[in-house]
Amino acid sequence: MKYNVKLTWDNEANVWVATSDDIPGLALESNSYDALIEKVKFAVPELLELNNNNSAKEIHFISERCEAVA
């Protein structure tokens, strides 16, 4: 099964935030995009186990970053 994880840049906090409608309880942040992906890869199996979901795991990362331009 494929799980969608959304990575969004928070301009005010200067961090990337990971959330998912597919994985209850997923809420992580990091100032590094790559570090956040690693955190998600570590946390997802644990969260799925806590939610009694042990199906095959594939994470689909969707990222979004908006910046104002002058």
pTM: 0.87
Residue 67: predicted pLDDT: 87
Nearest alpha-carbon partner for 36 in 56, 15, 53: 15
Residue 70: predicted pLDDT: 82
Render the burial of 37-58: b for 16+ CB within 10 Å, e for the rest: bebbeebbeebbeeeeeeeeee
Domains and CATH numbers, the chain: 2-64 (3.30.2390.10)
Report residue 68's pLDDT band, with 50, 70 and 90 as the boundaries. confident
